[in-house]
Amino acid sequence: MSIKSLSLDPRALQQDAMLAAKRYRELRRLPYRRDLPEPFVTSMTDMAWGGEVIIEILFRPSSVPDGPLSLYALVLDRIVLAEAYVGMSWTAANAGISVPPIIWHKDNVIFLEPIPGQSLDNLWPKLTNPVREAICKKLAFELLKMFNYRSSNGIYTARAMEPNGVRGIQDPDLRKTMLVSRPFNDGPLSMRKPPATFVSNEEYLVGLVRRIELVFDDYTIRAPTSDQKRCWPGKETLSVRDMTLIRDTWRRLRELIRYHEGAWYVAPSHWPSADRSLLGRILRSGDTAICHPDLQMSRIIVHPKAGPEYEVTLTGWQHAYFAPLWSSARLPPWMVSSLVLLPAATGPQPNLQDEAWMQTFMTRHMAMASLEWRIAYQMGEMERVFEECIGAHWKYRDRIEVCLVWLKQMWKQARPQSNFPIPVVEGDNWERIITDPTDPLYAVNF
């Protein structure tokens, strides 16, 4: 991907970079100097950083005597994603989380101050076990900061405001009027206005179902479609039956919403009496916390400090949002295998042995540090699995059918006196779905 492929005007980007360099002085509260020259851009180069393709902008040193010598320009697909990145990044910084400093943003371009360090995906194979442990411990505390930073304003994305001179939305009520998590940006949904704040867990889960009703409405499913935003590689055309099957799966998922708002799968006898009231308050809480569902290894920038300490900086905030507590209490996708069989993690990944070690290490440290997190993580597992199913891309429809079989088994263990309320795929069809991941959509007979 290049500046040209990003549909950017190089001259306009250069002018904006010069303005960002001037804004840098304002943010650093440097004294006014009449003799300062105009910042002069010497080069603009594409590079991979923080899980994104960014543009590194270099300045002539003599034109920026007080800095910055360089800036990163992060170009996102939509203005609303840039607003989300700036707003959630600022919110994370307010929670004490280390994030790349934002110098300025205009439209869909965000100018970041470069930070030292390398992405964890590049570093991981070279690290010793003690260093990996130190980094994971640091990351554990960053995740706890997210979980402990609460809001009572619903499930939403904090939009860009006016933090330290960054241009954006100043009205705090307007900042909570949308949700830009990844499920609401899939396919043709990326062309629609993001949904408004969801005021309850039930409303949020219903909203995830309605995505499918919007993508495959009654008009769309009248005839086969080759719309690229509805189809996917390997499935260039969707038949009427394909789309009908997709809608049917999410229709049945909708019937399960009432059982996945919190604590349905938890037997009270599993917890000491002193913790039972806390369990209900956490899993059914109306409060929300910061959730970064796309925290890939490439989005974790690691920089060694003095002694055994490491600075961990997190980026990729455009799809972060305030989520239910059981959703916020999640580990990064590269640390866990998806129970829904969805390929969540991208890029180089640890091997299975490392993955198991990290998951054990992280959960032990985080559970010891926070009883609330332990409850939300351990007892909210079924809610997260259901959220993953209902919020998945429709191309994973058949794999979701597999997960429904597993949910039914968990249901029988937790509620043996109650029948699972929807039909699911059984027997040979289930085995075929598991062993045939190359064809993610085919007819299933119930």
The tens place of each residue's pLDDT in the chain, 446 residues long, gives 455 555 678 889 999 999 999 888 877 776 767 777 889 999 999 999 998 989 999 999 999 888 889 999 999 988 899 999 999 999 999 999 999 999 999 989 999 999 999 999 999 888 888 888 889 899 999 999 999 999 999 999 998 754 444 444 444 544 557 899 999 999 999 999 899 999 999 999 999 999 999 999 999 999 999 999 999 998 999 999 999 999 999 999 999 999 988 778 876 566 566 566 778 788 888 899 999 999 999 999 999 876 677 899 999 999 999 999 999 999 998 887 655 544 444 555 566 566 677 788 888 889 888 989 999 998 899 999 999 999 999 999 988 988 898 899 889 888 888 899 998 876 555 555 545 544 444 433 33
SS3 326: helix
Q: CA–CA distance from 372 to each of 17, 118, 290 (Å)?
A: 44, 32, 15
Can you tell me the distance from the alpha carbon of 220 to that of 276, in angstroms, rounded to the nearest whole number? 47
Longest Cα–Cα distance of the chain, Å, equals: 80
Q: Domain spans of the chain?
A: 10-114
Q: Which residues, including other chains, have CB under 8 Å from residue 440's CB and lie 6 or more apart?
A: 234, 235, 395, 396, 397, 398, 399
Angle (nearest 5°) at CA 283 between 281 and 287? 70
10-114 to CATH, choices 3.30.450, 3.40.50, 1.10.3210, 3.30.200: 3.30.200
Q: Which amino acid is at 168?
A: G
Can you tell me the distance from the alpha carbon of 235 to that of 257, in angstroms, rounded to the nearest whole number? 29
What pLDDT was estimated at residue 144? Answer: 96
Strand partners, 300: 314
What pLDDT was estimated at residue 354? Answer: 66
Can you tell me the distance from the alpha carbon of 205 to that of 97, in angstroms, rounded to the nearest whole number? 28
Are residues 230 and 187 in contact, defined by beta-carbon separation less than 8 angstroms?
Answer: yes
Closest CA to 323 of 391, 255, 399: 391
Secondary structure element (H or E) that encloses residue 206, with its range:
helix 201-215
What pLDDT was estimated at residue 1? Answer: 47
- What's this model's pTM, rounded to 2 decimal places? 0.87
Strand order in the sheet with 300-304: 118-119, 300-304, 310-314
Extract the tokens encoding 438: 């190359």
Q: Which residues, including other chains, have CB under 8 Å from residue 135's CB and lie 6 or more apart?
A: 120, 127, 302, 310, 312
What pLDDT was estimated at residue 337? Answer: 66
Secondary structure element (H or E) that encloses residue 99, with its range:
none
What pLDDT was estimated at residue 333? Answer: 86
What pLDDT was estimated at residue 228? Answer: 93
Extract the tokens encoding 428: 């040979």
